[in-house]
Amino acid sequence: MKTHSSRLFVLLLSLFALVGCDQATKVVATQRLASVEPISFFGNLFRLEYAENPGAFLSFGASMSEETRYWVFVVMVSVVLLVALIFLLRSYKTWPMPALFALVLIISGGSSNLLSRILNDGHVIDFMNIGIGSLRTGIFNVADMAIMSGVGLLFLISIRSPEQFDAVQTSQPSAE
């Protein structure tokens, strides 16, 4: 029993720490970067550049109407995150810890971007950019890195040890 509660504690602590870290960096970006030109490092390989993104990843959906963006990026994302959190709370005793941590990365990043969108009139604060010459990433934030890391980790786990997930699925207690 102690093992299960300590697993849940670590997962929830990680979730809140990641959301807090992302929110703190967005506050600093707003205070320090909003009114200045982009700041370059390492020969312009890494750039700090303030942006308010009304869309999702790489500004996907930015051209949608404000009402559509609200339904897609606030309502639907809230439902998906709630379902993922419920799944996490129901499976933390049986799923492998790396997979659970990957899910925490995705939930924390999504939750923090959702919170940012709610607090910033439908916009997410982005401020980092990486690239060489004209080949650059979109502008992103810590939450985006958490989401992409979680997706990448789940992908790696699924291709390296798919049998773990098969064993987990068959060992789930029935809902009867």
Q: Quote the Cα angle for 44-109-16, to 5°.
A: 120
Q: Tell me the two tokens of residue 117.
A: 């969108």
Determine whether 144 is an active site residue.
Answer: yes
Tokens 């916009």: give the residue: 123
Beta strands in the chain (DSSP E): 39-41, 46-53, 124-132, 135-136
The active-site residue, picked from 22, 121, 126, 166, is: 126
Range 40-76 burial, b when 16+ CB lie within 10 A, else e: eeeeeeebbbbbbbbbbeeeeeeebeeeebeeebeee
Determine whether 126 is an active site residue.
Answer: yes
- Stretch (H or E) spanning 18: helix 2-33
Half-sphere exposure of 85 (CA within 13 A, CB side): 14
Q: Show which residues are catalytic.
A: 126, 144
